[in-house]
Structure 1
Amino acid sequence: MNIGSERRAVQNPFIRYAEEAGWTYLPPEEALRLRGGKDSPVLRKVLIEQLQRLNPGVVDSVTIAEEVASRVVRVRPNIEGNLEVWEYLKGLKTVFVEAERREHNVRLLDADHPEANTFHVTDEFRFFSGRTAIRADVVLLINGIPVIVVETKAATRPEGIAEAFDQIRRYHEQGPELMAEAQLFALTHLVKFFYGPTWNLSRKALFNWRDEQTGDFETLVKTFLAPRRVLRVLTDYILFVRKDGELTKAVLRPHQMRAVEKVIARSRDPEKRRGLVWHTQGSGKTYTMITVAKRLLEDPRFENPTVLMIVDRNELQQQLFRNLEAVGFGRVYVAKSKRDLRQLLRNDTRSLIVSMIHKFDDADAGLNTRSNIFVLVDEAHRSTGGDLGNYMMGALPNATFVGFTGTPIDRSAHGKGTFKVFGSDDPSGYLDKYSIRHSLRDGTTIPLHYQMAPNELVVDREAMEKEFWTVAELEGVADVEELNRVLDRAVTLKNMLKNQHRVDMIASFIAEHFQTFVAPMGYKGFLVAVDREACCLYKEALDRYLPVEMSQVVISRGHNNQPRLRRYYLSDSAEKEVRKAFRKPDEQPQILIVTEKLLTGYDAPILYCM
């Protein structure tokens, strides 16, 4: 199919559906006139008019509007500049108001009143950066700012989406000034519709658009481009994450957006105070929770609320705090003790509080009776079923409680369980569900492919049955944390797993396998051991078969301070550098030796094998 027929089959219908969804079409020549030239990424005339309209008393002259527009266009042509533009869109940037002699926030869009904004769609968007020229198929602009760049391909092209993705990559290289303005990109070949955040060009960040109304191309385009939805995505569902000294960008997946909207709606319902978000493991529950917390705290309808995020382990609390810090989540209180938590609640703290569930032990009933307290419980299936959950709910009798879990426990027949605690306000037992089946369908969860090890490396089945599986089954254990406790008691099994001869054989096998199948493809790997001591043993063995710098132990500090473990402890700054280097293909290490740390909450697309 040639370019002309591709345009007729995909690009033109896309524009027509965008118009029907509420966008005004600008022919390329008209868009170019409003831009003021091919080197301008924005509709400068529109932007200047909208800046004055949206900011009365702040941007009250063409001169000030021109100055703000120039600042928006002159951002750095990279992800840091893209963050600046997003901050303008979010209303976080300021302008000096001479009459008041102080700074005022300036808005580039109004997310609460879609009708106050201008929505334009144009095609054949030619942009010249001064070095090279690019031509985007379709560009969508709000108030003159390009916010979404779209590439369209014919359905007859089997590799159409991959080709479109390559073009988006090329735009980042050859037209970074345009991509510094745009927050999202979309790819479509009529049959499917994908979207992702600009400046994150990992295939893992490319999502299949699905809405409650599944349907044809027209439905996909219209639901994605609904003006109110686009405004919400731009202001609330994009996250800039600074980890290990590097800035990355994410956008929520459809199931995350859906869950956030349902939790916000539940939080506004005075008749219902419970909700369960049942999203399979690895589907982004942390970012969903963080976005819910931000929405609750920023929405004036909740009247300056208190939001609690509850976890049940110290490591999870630290991990959550690091994530909150990484996304630039303003003021966060971490409850240091039971007394500290009670003081925060008695003092009527209006902010985000992070606490472990056990700090509610023996809490007074009616500690805070306000109704605009919202409690988001992580790993809800193991946090609130017993006395601690009762203390928490008794201390906050009028709060709204929302549980997040990937593995709910059903003991409703006995008046207990995750569905009983959180799902009583919903006939199905949950507020929102995203199953493993849906996750695999969407590519959110990637299937694991197993390769059997040689027979001599396989664990003795009898020992596994006797010390581990039988005990786990008798105790009704399914949760990872509880399985770990069973494993800690399996002394004979653990000693066998750490036998020196066995460790050496496995290290030899891993070294050969890694060099033959993993390294040649440019990927890296994790070696996951049974405990921290085993990590050290594997490091020593692996060093006999691979260069020392190829592998690195990453373990948590514990109470066991034997010299063998101390030797491999890393300072926070050293661990940060290791995590950062592992993500890069041309830097060491290539293998991280871990037992629990980094198995969750660490994103490294280069990781291929465990």
Structure 2
Amino acid sequence: MTFNEANTVEAFIRDLLCGGIVHHTTVGPGLARRSGHVSGLGWHFLSNLNLPRQVHEPLVEGHLRDALIRLNPSIAARPDRVDDVVYRLRAIVIGVRTDGLVKANEEFATWIRGEKSMPFGANGEHVTIKLIDFDDFEQNQYVVSQQYTLRAGKTEKRADLVLLVNGLPLVLIEAKTPVRSSQSWLDGALQVHEYYERNVPELFVPNVFSIATEGKELRYGAVRMPVELWGPWRLEDESAPPAMLEVEKAVTSMLR
């Protein structure tokens, strides 16, 4: 496949994820389906303009609140409890400027993994809080958005693609279209590491990993990982496939 300004790597990955189907309104939980079949890799596409969030909000709190009620019976019984959880998550995000991105990311990860509890049980008993259902994936909401914009103070950054699960931006993809032969995945990785993570660290507090590709090679890395340590995605005992196939296979394997 030949890429140019009109036919971008970004669009190729977006359509691979969502099957080319665009949603204009908020979607519910479950993998994206059409006629009983999973569309693309199961992600719903919602444009940045159609997400229920403000430009200064890194999380899609409406989706997060719905998920907390859906996945936690103790919160469903008392929906006002969702405010207590969101307050704590928001505090971690806000605190990134003083605590540092690595610490904030690690703290948020404990919530994502279901290692945190709240006194929502009988007689104030602590119960585990789920942000994501790892037992029944259909209970989660999967959204991919394009040109995901975040404003922090006077700084505004726009990520090519962001993948959100239950309103949490878990994966960021920087897709460079190789209109210049000198452009590579490294340009995208440097943009993430040197500019996005430094200027809008709030976006990366829930981040699991970021991806950089120019359509020929794909590399991924965790927050604050030096770009020289970003690596390719390989299945066990898998040799490197041809350029474009490498990107397609990696995206399919990592993000299904």
**Under TM normalisation by the shorter chain, which class is it?**
0.7 to 0.9
Q: Structure 1 residues 179-188 or 157-166, which shifts more?
A: 157-166
Task: Tell me the equivalent position of 1:221.
Answer: 251
Equivalent pair of 2:118/2:129 in contact (CA under 8 Å): yes
Partner AA of 1:223 in structure 2: S
Shift of 1:30: 0.8
Partner AA of 1:177 in structure 2: E
Query: In the alignment, does 2:187 pair up with 1:163?
Result: yes
Shift of 1:58: 4.3
Equivalent pair of 1:6/1:153 in contact (CA under 8 Å): no
Partner AA of 1:189 in structure 2: E
Shift of 1:59: 5.2
Task: Tell me the equivalent position of 2:10.
Answer: 11
How far apart in 2 are the matches of 1:64 and 1:131? 33
Find 2:60's aligned residue among 43, 60, 63: 43
TM-align CA RMSD: 2.0
User: What is the SS of the residue equivalent to 2:88?
Assistant: helix
Identical-pair percentage: 25
Task: Give structure 1 regions of 4+ aligned residues with deviation exceeding 3 angstroms.
Answer: 4-7, 58-62, 211-215
Query: In the alignment, does 2:201 pair up with 1:201?
Result: no
Task: Tell me the equivalent position of 1:440.
Answer: none
Paired residues for 1:302-317 under 5 Å: none
Specify every segment of 5 or more residues in structure 2 that has no aligned partner in the other structure, as ranges.
19-39
Find 1:62's aligned residue among 72, 75, 79: 79
How far apart in 2 are the matches of 1:135 and 1:7? 19
Shift of 1:223: 1.5
How far apart in 1 are the matches of 2:179 and 2:118? 50
Query: In the alignment, does 2:175 pair up with 1:152?
Result: yes
Task: Tell me the equivalent position of 2:44.
Answer: 24
How far apart in 1 are the matches of 2:211 and 2:77? 35
Query: In the alignment, does 2:214 pair up with 1:189?
Result: yes
- The higher radius of gyration belongs to 1
Task: Tell me the equivalent position of 1:132.
Answer: 155
Tell me the alpha carbon deviations over residues 298-331 of structure 1, each in whole angstroms, 9 at most, x when there is no partner.
xxxxxxxxxxxxxxxxxxxxxxxxxxxxxxxxxx
Equivalent pair of 1:126/1:136 in contact (CA under 8 Å): yes
The 1:59–1:67 alpha-carbon spacing in structure 2 relative to 1, beyond 3 Å, is farther
Equivalent pair of 2:75/2:82 in contact (CA under 8 Å): no
Paired residues for 1:592-607 under 5 Å: none
Query: In the alignment, does 2:130 pair up with 1:107?
Result: yes
Shift of 1:98: 5.8
Equivalent pair of 1:110/1:116 in contact (CA under 8 Å): yes
The 1:89–1:181 alpha-carbon spacing in structure 2 relative to 1, beyond 3 Å, is same
How far apart in 1 are the matches of 2:44 and 2:233? 23
Task: Tell me the equivalent position of 2:31.
Answer: none
Relative contact order, CA 8 A, sep 6+: which one is greater? 2
Shift of 1:156: 4.1
**Which structure carries more helix by proportion?**
1
Equivalent pair of 2:175/2:188 in contact (CA under 8 Å): yes
How far apart in 1 are the matches of 2:90 and 2:203? 9
TM-score, structure 2 as length reference: 0.79
Specify every segment of 5 or more residues in structure 1 that has no aligned partner in the other structure, as ranges.
227-610
How far apart in 2 are the matches of 1:51 and 1:186? 28
Tell me the alpha carbon deviations over residues 363-396 of structure 1, each in whole angstroms, 9 at most, x when there is no partner.
xxxxxxxxxxxxxxxxxxxxxxxxxxxxxxxxxx
How far apart in 2 are the matches of 1:200 and 1:93? 26
User: What is the SS of the residue equivalent to 1:195?
Assistant: strand
Task: Tell me the equivalent position of 1:607.
Answer: none
Partner AA of 2:178 in structure 1: A
Find 1:118's aligned residue among 119, 141, 161: 141
Partner AA of 2:188 in structure 1: A
User: What is the SS of the residue equivalent to 1:208?
Assistant: coil
Shift of 1:200: 2.0
Equivalent pair of 1:95/1:105 in contact (CA under 8 Å): yes
Task: Tell me the equivalent position of 1:97.
Answer: 120
Partner AA of 1:108 in structure 2: L
Task: Tell me the equivalent position of 2:37.
Answer: none
Tell me the alpha carbon deviations over residues 252-281 of structure 1, each in whole angstroms, 9 at most, x when there is no partner.
xxxxxxxxxxxxxxxxxxxxxxxxxxxxxx
Shift of 1:5: 4.3
Shift of 1:22: 0.8
The 1:59–1:68 alpha-carbon spacing in structure 2 relative to 1, beyond 3 Å, is farther
Tell me the alpha carbon deviations over residues 56-88 of structure 1, each in whole angstroms, 9 at most, x when there is no partner.
124533321122123212212121111111101
Equivalent pair of 2:186/2:212 in contact (CA under 8 Å): no
The 1:10–1:104 alpha-carbon spacing in structure 2 relative to 1, beyond 3 Å, is same
How far apart in 1 are the matches of 2:250 and 2:121? 47
Task: Tell me the equivalent position of 2:202.
Answer: 177
How far apart in 2 are the matches of 1:7 and 1:27? 18
Shift of 1:91: 0.3
How far apart in 2 are the matches of 1:94 and 1:152? 37
Shift of 1:141: 0.5
The 1:108–1:171 alpha-carbon spacing in structure 2 relative to 1, beyond 3 Å, is same
How far apart in 2 are the matches of 1:94 and 1:16? 38
